Amino acid sequence: MENAEKAEILGHPLEYAQSCKARMGHRSVSSGTTCQLRKLSVDIRLGGSATCATALRPMEGGPKRRNWIIKVRVPDPPRQGHLEETATQLDSVHLHFDPKVAMAKNNQQAANAALVEILEDDSQPSTSKSQKAVAYRRVIIMRHGERCDDVYGDFVQRGFVDGSHTFRQFDLNMPEKLPQRHEDVNMSKMDWQTDAPLSNMGHKTAAAIGAEYAHLAVSIEHVFSSPALRCVQTAGRFIEGFQKVNKTEALKVKIEGGLYEWQFNTGSPIPRFFAEQDLARGGLPIDLTYKCFKHGSAIPYNETFDEFNQRCVDTVRHIMQTIPTGSTVLFITHAPNFDMFNRYRGTGGMPIYRWQKLINRVPYLHAIVYDEVRKNHWEMRPPPVCSFPYEANAVYNWENPGKP
- Tell me what pLDDT residue 79 has: 42
- Tell me what pLDDT residue 268 has: 79
pTM above 0.85, yes or no: no
Residue 191 and residue 270: Cα distance in Å, rounded?
10
- Tell me what pLDDT residue 135 has: 54
Q: 138-151+167-381 maps to which CATH number?
A: 3.40.50.1240
Residue 334 and residue 313: Cα distance in Å, rounded?
15
- Tell me what pLDDT residue 356 has: 84
9 SS3 class: strand
- Tell me what pLDDT residue 42 has: 34
- Tell me what pLDDT residue 169 has: 95
Beta-strand pair 328-333/138-143: parallel
Is 246 within 8 Å of 128 (Cβ atoms)? no
Could you please report the per-residue DSSP string of 93-114? -EEEE-HHHHH--S-HHHHTPP
Ordered per-residue pLDDT tens for the chain, 404 residues: 333 322 233 333 323 333 333 332 333 333 333 333 233 333 333 333 333 344 434 334 443 333 334 444 444 444 444 433 333 333 333 333 333 333 333 333 333 332 222 222 222 333 333 344 445 899 999 999 999 999 999 999 999 887 778 899 999 999 999 887 877 777 888 899 999 999 999 999 999 999 999 999 999 999 999 999 999 999 999 999 999 998 877 899 999 999 999 988 777 788 999 999 999 999 999 999 999 999 998 999 899 999 999 999 999 999 999 999 999 999 999 999 999 999 999 887 788 888 888 888 889 999 999 999 988 899 999 998 877 777 778 777 777 776 66
Domain boundaries, the chain: 5-127, 138-151+167-381
Please tell me the number of Cα atoms within 13 Å of 238 on its side-chain side.
34
Edge-to-edge strand list for the sheet holding 138-143: 253-255, 222-225, 328-333, 138-143, 367-374, 377-381
370 SS3 class: strand
180 SS3 class: coil
Which residues 6+ apart lie within 8 Å of 357 measured at CB? none
